[in-house]
Amino acid sequence: MANADETVKIIEVGPRDGLQNYPAVLSTPDKVRLIDDLVASGITAIEATSFVRADRVPQLADGVEVCAGIQRVPGVRYIALAPNVRGLEAARSAGVDEVAVFAAASDEFNRSNVGRNTSEALAMFADVAREAIALGMSVRGYVSTVLGCPFSGHVPISDVVAVVEAMDAMGCDEISLGDTIGVGRPHQVAPLIEATAAVVGTDRIAVHFHDTYGMGLANSMAAVEAGVRSVDTSIGGLGGCPFAGRGAKGNLATEDLVYALQGSVHDTGVDLDRLVDINIWLAGVMGRPLPSRSAAALASKRDG
């Protein structure tokens, strides 16, 4: 069994980040089942939903109902995205005790995503974090475009560090570094971790690497080698950034990371067979196979 200090914790983002760009709307009962089943597989931190305007993200308009329907398991972090104070108030009313805020390390991306430059976006999210902390809630910060921006291209590490410093100052307990469009390469990861860890320490850093160029797993493994012990993944590889290009792959599949680390000192402790069960069920609900390669290989063995 892996030492607790070496175990990699998965932050499952499928129910929020994975579903928010899916063209159809998954039913509330199916979302509840998805969350409960993922927790039953051994996931101990999960993005359950988002509290944003329903006209902006109709796929997640049922956040209150989802939070009411899930079976809360002690010790599991149930996280919801809350981009503004109104969303925070809705999350609090729904019984959420951890919210996530986000800002890109690129001015151009922030302007496109939230209509503000980086400083303005951080000020807005600082208000959310301040209020959340006053309510006794935990705050998770997302830094987008850490390895490249679809509008400005290269993003200097110093710009990433500046956002991490701001999120640390606003009270974020954990800060997730996101390669939003999946352009990063493994050799870029260690310098990024070293620079950001100098601000907050590796124990408060997570990584969120997309798989646009097939580098999601390689980059996540490079982060683990650099000392990171929290990795964002999505069941089946659901999700993706619309700015990454049509047909681009999305998040790193939970199954693929669990398979890669299984039996090692970094074993996640998540039940891979149960993840494959979830993958098969969810693919049936969504009417299409999910991108995870390891799940497909393991499922084919069952058929064979």
Residue 241 scores a pLDDT above 90 = no
The alpha carbon torsion through 207, 213, 217, 218 (nearest 10 deg) reads -100
DSSP-derived pairing of the beta strands 205-209 and 174-179: parallel
Q: What pLDDT, on the 0 to 100 scale, is given for residue 249?
A: 61
Which has more pLDDT, 10 or 115?
A: 10
Q: What percent of the chain has pLDDT over 90?
A: 87
Residue 87 scores a pLDDT above 70 = yes
Residue 304 and residue 301: Cα distance in Å, rounded?
5
Q: What pLDDT, on the 0 to 100 scale, is given for residue 303?
A: 67
**Phi and psi for 74 in degrees, rounded to 5?**
-55, 135
Residue 277 and residue 225: Cα distance in Å, rounded?
29
Task: Judge residue 187's burial from the number of C-beta atoms within 10 Å of its C-beta, 0-12 exposed, 13-18 middle, 19 or more buried.
Answer: exposed
Each domain of the chain, given as residue ranges in start order, spans 9-303
Q: What pLDDT, on the 0 to 100 scale, is given for residue 244?
A: 47
Q: What pLDDT, on the 0 to 100 scale, is given for residue 156?
A: 97
At which residue do the structure tokens 């607790």 appear?
4
Q: What pLDDT, on the 0 to 100 scale, is given for residue 245?
A: 46
Q: What pLDDT, on the 0 to 100 scale, is given for residue 53?
A: 86
* Across 116-133, average pLDDT: 95
Q: What pLDDT, on the 0 to 100 scale, is given for residue 237?
A: 94
Q: Please list the active-site residues.
A: 241
Q: What is the pLDDT of the chain when averaged over all its residues?
A: 93
Task: Judge residue 156's burial from the number of C-beta atoms within 10 Å of its C-beta, 0-12 exposed, 13-18 middle, 19 or more buried.
Answer: exposed
Please name the amino acid found at residue 99. V
Residue 165 and residue 105: Cα distance in Å, rounded?
11
Q: What is the pLDDT of residues 226-240, one digit of tens each?
A: 999 999 999 999 986
Residue 198 scores a pLDDT above 80 = yes
* Across 8-26, average pLDDT: 92
48-62, 118-132, 187-201, 234-248: least confident range: 234-248
Host H or E run for residue 277: helix 272-286
Residue 190 and residue 120: Cα distance in Å, rounded?
29
Residue 44 and residue 220: Cα distance in Å, rounded?
19
Residue 55 scores a pLDDT above 90 = no
pLDDT band at 223 (very low <50, low <70, confident <90, very high): very high
pLDDT band at 293 (very low <50, low <70, confident <90, very high): very high
Residue 1 scores a pLDDT above 60 = no
Q: What percent of the chain has pLDDT over 70?
A: 95
Q: What is the value of pTM for the model shown?
A: 0.95
CA 246 from chain center: how many Å?
21
Q: What is the pLDDT of residues 259-273, one digit of tens each?
A: 999 999 999 999 999
Q: Report CA-CA distances (Å) from 187 to 99, 168, 175.
A: 31, 26, 21
Assigned CATH for 9-303 = 3.20.20.70
Residue 40 and residue 185: Cα distance in Å, rounded?
33
